[in-house]
Amino acid sequence: MRTFFELVKLSARRQFTYRAAAFAGLATNVFFGLLRAAVMVALYGERGEAAGISLQAAITYTGISQAVIAFLDLFGWWQVIQSVYSGQISGDLLKPMDYFRFWMAQDLGRALVNLAGRGVLIMLFYAAVFDIVLPGQPGQWLGLLAALLLAWMVSFAWRFLVNLTAFWVPNAVGIGRLGYSLSWLMSGFLMPLRFYPEWFQKLCNLTPFPHMINTIVEVYLGLLSGPEMMAALLHQALWAAALTSACYLVLRAGVRRLVILGG
């Protein structure tokens, strides 16, 4: 456990090495956030509400989904792929530690810095420029924290799983792109899921993707009643557990393949 926390701490500190990149990323996130907010305003036109979401909530939604991009590393995380292809993985397998937890700890450090830094800054900017929705009761804040943590776990396990294809395919980046595009479409990153036709919403809800973003958004905006929120969080936790188990299974098969075929 100590090693896990040390890795989290270290990875968090490492984020400050690339300050220029972080500021550039922040500026880009804000710019696209403004763009998406403008699109929402245009789409709503004279209407005050669509699919149970007010314009004010829709604008807030664009802020939230921009704020979690860096936190969840939505645009792609390729580190295990790179490690497998460069052979660095053998150095990591020579260390007496759990490979999944090794990366999980490092990703957690990265995620926390990006949430507290970029995420909060984007929301503050939104609060200054727009009239945004804020969670009301303390229960909703707690739910939001839980939803964020679980969303990160679902997202990390999904990204790790996508990366593991590198054990089998010589160019896993293509598969990765497909995996990440799927997660944009079906997580509610491009549009709130409530805007989609019902059959597509149902389809999305069969996948883990809504638990990366949509659950955060709905808890934040207060679209779920108390019991509904608990059910959503539980659902999220189940997906996190299922994906983590899948990661372990696939990782074991991948390492077995690596040690038998040679890297």
Partner 1 sequence: MRRMPIVVRELKKTYQVALQRRGALGALRSLVNRKTRLVRAVDGISFEIAPGELVGYLGPNGAGKSTTLKILTGLLVPTSGEVQVGEFVPWRQRRSYVAHIGAVFGQRTSLWWDLPVIESLELLQHIYDVAPGKFRHNLDEFRKLLDLDAFVDTPVRSLSLGQRMRADLCAALLHEPPVLFLDEPTIGLDVVAKERIRQFIRHINQQRGVSVVLTTHDLSDVQKLCQRVMIIDKGRLLFDGQLSKLQERFGGRRQVVVDFGERYEAVQVEGAEVTQHEGQRATFEFEQGTISASELIGRISARYRIQDLQVREPDIEATIRRIYEQRLLG
- For partner 1, which is the closer residue by CB, 172 or 240? 172
User: Closest approach of Cβ 91 to partner 1, in Å?
Assistant: 4
Residues 234-263 binding partner 1 (CB under 8 A) are 259-263
97 belongs to the binding site for partner 1 (CB under 8 A): yes
Q: How far apart are CA 7 and CA 104, in angstroms?
A: 9
Single out the residue of 87, 136, 197, 227 in contact with partner 1 (rule: CB under 8 A).
87
Start-to-end Cα distance in the chain: 30
Question: Could you tell me which of 251, 243, 245 has the C-alpha nearest to residue 80?
Answer: 251
- For partner 1, which is the closer residue by CB, 93 or 246? 93
Q: Which residues 6+ apart lie within 8 Å of 157 measured at CB?
A: 240, 243, 244, 246, 247
Single out the residue of 28, 88, 137, 171 in contact with partner 1 (rule: CB under 8 A).
88
169 belongs to the binding site for partner 1 (CB under 8 A): no
CB atoms within 10 A of CB 79: 16
Single out the residue of 20, 47, 48, 96 in contact with partner 1 (rule: CB under 8 A).
96
User: Closest approach of Cβ 249 to partner 1, in Å?
Assistant: 17
Q: How far apart are CA 138 and CA 161, in angstroms?
A: 35
What string of DSSP letters covers 140-201?
A: HHHHHHHHHHHHHHHHHHHHHHHHHGGGT-S-HHHHHHHHHHHHHHHHTSSS-GGGS-HHHH
226 belongs to the binding site for partner 1 (CB under 8 A): no
State the binding string over 2-31 for partner 1 (x if CB under 8 A, else -): xx--xx--x---x--x--------------
Q: How far apart are CA 168 and CA 182, in angstroms?
A: 21
User: Closest approach of Cβ 95 to partner 1, in Å?
Assistant: 5
User: Closest approach of Cβ 85 to partner 1, in Å?
Assistant: 12
Single out the residue of 27, 41, 43, 90 in contact with partner 1 (rule: CB under 8 A).
90
User: Closest approach of Cβ 76 to partner 1, in Å?
Assistant: 19
Segment lying near partner 1 (by CB under 8 A), choices 31-39, 60-68, 92-100, 117-125: 92-100
Question: Could you tell me which of 163, 171, 8 has the C-alpha nearest to residue 80?
Answer: 163
Size of the site for partner 1 (CB under 8 A): 24
User: Closest approach of Cβ 256 to partner 1, in Å?
Assistant: 8
Answer yes or no: are the C-beta atoms of 167 and 258 closer than 8 Å.
yes
Q: How far apart are CA 30 and CA 128, in angstroms?
A: 13
Residues that bind partner 1 (CB under 8 A): 2-3, 6-7, 10, 14, 17, 86-88, 90-98, 259-263
